């Protein structure tokens, strides 16, 4: 199973985009800002990483953990609404506006987990995208 995060919207405090599973839109995303000058938290580097499902002591449930990210540890995919709700992790939601992800972030997380727990082979996640035009035919953009 291949997840793709395409970063589209950038502000001084957040990085937002869309998450696809095997090329099909799944959720909107939010991460910390790209700018590294102020120190962490900031978004992880572009690239492809392995994902494992593991227990999260912070969230007290099974979450996707993004493995072997240079300079980071304990990077997870989880729910949350604002940039302050993440320390490098990827949050998922059903709607997006500037510096906010919503529309039921917990339900977006549950829908993602239902699909990830059915993965028959390994899971990877690729982070891509730069500021520019947003295109996603699945949602009509």
Q: How buried is 83 (Cβ within 10 angstroms: 0-12 exposed, 13-18 middle, 19+ buried)?
A: buried
Residue 82 contacts residue 99 (beta carbons within 8 Å): yes
Tokens of 69: 């990210």
What is the average pLDDT score of the chain?
Answer: 90
pLDDT per position as a tens digit, 61-119: 999 999 999 999 999 999 999 999 998 999 999 999 999 998 889 999 999 999 999 99
Terminal C-alpha separation, the chain:
24
d(CA 36, CA 114): 34
pTM exceeds 0.85: yes
């Amino acid at each position: 199973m291949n997840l793709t995060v395409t970063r589209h919207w950038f502000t001084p405090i957040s990085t937002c985009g869309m998450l696809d599973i095997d090329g099909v839109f799944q959720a909107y995303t939010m991460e910390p800002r790209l700018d590294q000058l102020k120190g962490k938290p900031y978004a992880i580097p572009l690239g492809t990483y392995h994902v494992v499902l593991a227990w999260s002591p912070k969230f007290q449930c099974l979450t996707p953990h993004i493995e072997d990210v240079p300079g980071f540890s304990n990077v997870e995919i989880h729910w949350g609404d604002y940039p302050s709700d993440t320390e490098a992790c990827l949050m998922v939601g059903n709607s997006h506006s500037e510096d906010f992800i919503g529309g039921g972030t917990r339900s977006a997380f549950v829908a993602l987990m239902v699909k990830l727990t059915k993965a028959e082979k390994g899971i990877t996640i690729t982070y891509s995208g730069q500021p520019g035009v947003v295109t996603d035919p699945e949602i009509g953009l």
